[in-house]
Amino acid sequence: MSSNQSRAMKLADYQAPGFSVSDIYLEFDLQDEQTRVTAISQVQRVDSAIRDLELDGKKLILEGLWINGTQTEVSLTEQGIRLTEVPDQFELRIETLIDPVNNHALEGLYKSGGAFCTQCEAQGFRRITYFLDRPDVMARYRVKVIADKQDCPYLLANGNLIDSGDAEQGRHWALWEDPFPKPCYLFALVAGDFDKLEDQFTTHSGRQVELQLFVDKGNVSRGQHALDSLKKAMAWDEQKYGLEYDLDIYMIVAVDFFNMGAMENKGLNIFNSKYVLADAASATDQDYFNIESVIAHEYFHNWTGNRVTCRDWFQLSLKEGLTVFRDQQFSADMASAAIVRINQVRVMREHQFAEDSGPMAHPIRPAEVMEMNNFYSVTVYDKGAEVIRMLHTLLGEQGFRKGMDCYISRHDGQAVTCDDFVQAMEDANQRDLSLFRGWYSQSGTPVISVDCEWDESTQQLRLDLTQKTPPTADQAEKQPLHIPVAIEVVPVSGQGEGRSEVLSLTGQQQRFTFENISAEPAVALLTGFSAPVKVDYQSTPGHQLAVILYASDPVARWDACQQLVSDAIFTIAQNDARTVPDFPIELFAGLLEQAQTEPALIAEMLELPSFETLAQQRDRIDVDALLGARKQLKTLLAEKFSAQWQRLFIQLSNPQYDYQQQQVERRRLSGVCLSYLACTEASLDILRQAYKHSDNMTDTLAVLKACQAENLPLFDELMQDFEQRWHDDPLVMDKWFALHAGRQHPGCLSTLQLLMSHGRYSINNPNRVRSVMGTFAFYNTEGFHRRDGSGYRFLTDYLLELDAVNPQVAARLITPMIQYAKLDENRQQKIRLQLLRLFEHKSLSRDLYEKVQKAL
């Protein structure tokens, strides 16, 4: 175990800080390799028992430290420095040197392209200066930024610009002040040259807010959608939650080098340019959607995250789960609620369930953390949002709003816990949520088993529900939870009324009885995906068909459809069957007939369940058989309905591109048609024409994806053309790289090698790394899971190299390799071999170490 790999921190060990910092003045003298940071803090002792002040620091050169003006010696600790026997109240001045240009971990202060920028969440501020780098220390910030005037015409930090001027040697400076006390993880600084888009927003109470969006030179025309999204988000939060923006200026900066999606720094959001830039030619409908949702997410953090923040990092879901829930509500209002929800369900089933059954399983409020960056997880974010959604379901729209009002007014300006949030919900609604709190402390995916009987003579429908959460890597014992199980009962015949209800499952086993069910009912369980659970219910194809046809809940209809198709795929896989069950064929015939009436929903229904979704339905999977069966069904459906796919595809062509709901839905369905068409002989011409005549990236990418999935020779031809057209455009080239990396074919490892020696590849750019290695590891199932283990070895070789550059990104990419429990013994063994190689590596980062050690 190397020095990187320290022990885990425990939630149970939380201690309030011994000191507070009321104000801090920061001065940055920006230079590529040697930036001088001067920090002057006003420090107060709050716990008289704590005599020494310990400050966090990482990769800093300490130039000097003064207490009330007197230079003072410090002792080094594992985490940073210790100042012994400090006064009760004092001014602390610290000078440090840092090296932004060689900071490829992209935490703290670094350079992205030509611009200086920062990323401080979770613990990046300690790479800027020695400080109490924890969210429950909140200070008022004044920040002076000094840089070369030509290289960095824009000098930005949080809050309001209060002064600026010229300095010697062609330099200039700006002074910013943020009136709201904040934790250091919300600190931000940007200095560089940009194009700027400007707009204004008038708040509900009539205040004018300046909106500024900074993008790379030449990208102004791609910024409008982001700016429009911001205004929509600001209006929505006022209308939905009564929450108004609080500063006079709101800035967003797009940078190309960024570890995550975006960051909600107070008044100065920093974004991965992928979630800012869009125009019809270069961005897909999905990109437009993502931009709107991430812009909203970061904006919503201003209240849920910034004004009310987290006491400690175990509480991360307090702000992330809640803010994801809020951005999901917003997206549902902006686009199609049903489709938005279906895609969230996919994320849960494909990624969160996998995490929750693997070695990194953790509750949405983790109890133990080694490296915090590893907990910006689908569990904390997406399951966290599902937990908030269940509260919303249990309390109702109005009850939830009352709880939010209570939470915000009670805790404005504080750093609080998940318990404080639930308490506010309880108090505002006079409800007992003690059982519900289990969702915060228990990991794993509950399975609800259903036993269902309808008695024609008594007209009663009886449902026996049993909940059981299988043990997880982090927790052997599980308790029953409070689970809202939404159900819909529809008559199998389609004649007569259906019924919808939310059942409150609170015990391990519970019986529910419905009276006056006069005709044979089909039951849809977990409508709207009312809880992050699995349902074990043997329904019949006939009943599933009734749900698809007659249920009012679109998620339930889609779900029943997916279940029917999944069952067929498993049947094919198990029997190695040449014959395919009839029901998917009948189903598809019906869906294709109605496709025009609800294009978006039917597109989702026609899409076969992904490999990952299928994998989550079994304890053990046979990778090859499953891939083969899925492929077999796809080809069969493609050929059986080739005329229909073709006809529909032609009917769906749109006029000129616009990101507008109706068009988006038609394009989605047309993309699905193309994916089937590509499996048929007669498709080459259609694909070629579609590529040639496309006026937008959505349609273009649909063609390329269809060719890629079917390994058509046309793929290489079109990809060459595509590269020629877009080689100078980083975001579009990410798509090009991803298409190549995701292609499942015998030579895929040599393809990867070629991609990584491509002139546009760089291990320093996370977007590029993700588009190649991320796509390979997560989505190139055939290539990654090659029987001989060469896919695992390939990823491991790369991780060893990447870990030294950017551990955060390396630790994300290892995910598919630690979730191996469902694989056959041969593959498991090959994976463990590679994990051992990592484990034995001397200078493995804490990020990778935590995951590898758990996986072994």
Q: Which residues bind ligand ARG (CB under 6 A)?
A: 119, 121-122, 259-260, 262-264, 297-298, 320, 373, 376, 808
Q: Which residue has the tokens 């200026």?
A: 249
- Smallest separation, CB 731 to ligand ARG (Å): 19
Assign 608 to helix, strand or coil. coil
Q: What is the CA radius of gyration of the chain?
A: 28
- Smallest separation, CB 261 to ligand ARG (Å): 6
Which is nearer to ligand ARG, 263 or 605 (by Cβ)? 263
In terms of phi and psi (left: phi > 0; alpha: psi -120 to 50; beta: otherwise), the region of 670 is alpha
Which is nearer to Zn ion, 133 or 320 (by Cβ)? 320
CA gap 93, 85 in Å, rounded = 16
Q: Which residue has the tokens 């068909």?
A: 545
# of chain residues touching Zn ion (CB under 5 A): 2
- Smallest separation, CB 241 to ligand ARG (Å): 18
Which is nearer to ligand ARG, 269 or 616 (by Cβ)? 269
**Which of Zn ion, ligand ARG, none does 313 bind, CB closer than 5 to 8 A by kind?**
none
CA gap 571, 577 in Å, rounded = 7
Dihedral sign of CA atoms 292, 203, 266, 411 in order: negative
In this structure, the strands spanning 61-67 and 171-182 are: unpaired
- Rule CB under 5 A: which of 314-333 touch Zn ion? 320, 323
Q: How far is CA 85 from CA 17, 65, 91, in A?
A: 16, 15, 14
- Smallest separation, CB 381 to ligand ARG (Å): 7
> Is 298 considered catalytic here?
yes
**Which of ligand ARG, Zn ion, none does 122 bind, CB closer than 5 to 8 A by kind?**
ligand ARG
**DSSP bridge partners of 199:** 211
Which is nearer to ligand ARG, 54 or 264 (by Cβ)? 264
Assign 543 to helix, strand or coil. helix
Which is nearer to ligand ARG, 106 or 485 (by Cβ)? 106
Residues with Cβ within 8 Å of 512's Cβ and at least 6 positions away in sequence, in order, are 462, 463, 465, 503
- Smallest separation, CB 320 to Zn ion (Å): 5
Which is nearer to Zn ion, 269 or 469 (by Cβ)? 269
Dihedral sign of CA atoms 759, 765, 767, 770 in order: positive
- Smallest separation, CB 97 to ligand ARG (Å): 23
Which is nearer to Zn ion, 269 or 806 (by Cβ)? 269
Reading the block at residue 498, the tokens are: 């259906």
Reading the block at residue 579, the tokens are: 């014959």
Q: Rounded to the nearest 5 degrees, what angle is found at the Cα of 406, between the Cα atoms of 404 and 412?
A: 90
CA gap 147, 145 in Å, rounded = 7
CA gap 81, 5 in Å, rounded = 19
CA gap 807, 800 in Å, rounded = 10
DSSP 114-143: TEEEEE-TTTTGGGTS-B--STT--EEEEE
Q: Which of 743, 735, 673 is nearest to 712 (CA)?
A: 743
The residue of the chain with the least Cβ separation from ligand ARG equals: 376
Spatial strand order of the sheet with 262-263 comes to: 195-202, 208-215, 249-255, 268-272, 262-263
Give residue 693's Cα distance to chain centre. 34
**DSSP bridge partners of 513:** 462
**Which of Zn ion, ligand ARG, none does 144 bind, CB closer than 5 to 8 A by kind?**
none
- Smallest separation, CB 301 to Zn ion (Å): 6
- Smallest separation, CB 263 to ligand ARG (Å): 5
CA torsion angle for 643, 645, 651, 652 (degrees, to 10)? Answer: -170
- Smallest separation, CB 259 to ligand ARG (Å): 5
- Smallest separation, CB 376 to Zn ion (Å): 9
DSSP 57-125: -SS-EEEEEEETTEE---EE-SSEEEE-S--SEEEEEEEEEE-GGG--S--EEEEETTEEEEE-TTTTG
Which is nearer to ligand ARG, 279 or 320 (by Cβ)? 320
Determine how many CB atoms are found less than 10 A away from the CB of residue 579: 8
How many Cα atoms sit within 13 Å of 57 on the Cβ side? 24
- Smallest separation, CB 316 to Zn ion (Å): 9
- Smallest separation, CB 37 to ligand ARG (Å): 20
Which is nearer to ligand ARG, 365 or 827 (by Cβ)? 365
CA gap 266, 259 in Å, rounded = 19
Which is nearer to Zn ion, 387 or 648 (by Cβ)? 387
**Which of ligand ARG, Zn ion, none does 263 bind, CB closer than 5 to 8 A by kind?**
ligand ARG
Catalytic residue among 298, 488, 612, 665: 298
Residues with Cβ within 8 Å of 689's Cβ and at least 6 positions away in sequence, in order, are none
Which is nearer to ligand ARG, 53 or 370 (by Cβ)? 370
**Which of ligand ARG, Zn ion, none does 355 bind, CB closer than 5 to 8 A by kind?**
none
The residue count for the chain: 856
CA gap 470, 481 in Å, rounded = 13
Amino acid 175 reads L
φ, ψ dihedrals at 341, nearest 5°: -65, -45
**Which of Zn ion, ligand ARG, none does 262 bind, CB closer than 5 to 8 A by kind?**
ligand ARG
User: What DSSP character marks residue 472?
Assistant: B
CA gap 225, 210 in Å, rounded = 17
Which is nearer to ligand ARG, 320 or 734 (by Cβ)? 320
Which is nearer to ligand ARG, 394 or 809 (by Cβ)? 809
- Rule CB under 5 A: which of 816-855 touch Zn ion? none
- Smallest separation, CB 185 to ligand ARG (Å): 8
In this structure, the strands spanning 139-148 and 80-83 are: unpaired
Give residue 473's Cα distance to chain centre. 23
Q: Pattern 272-311, binding to Zn ion, x per CB under 5 A?
A: ----------------------------------------
Interface with Zn ion by CB under 5 A: which residues? 320, 323
Q: Which residues are catalytic?
A: 298
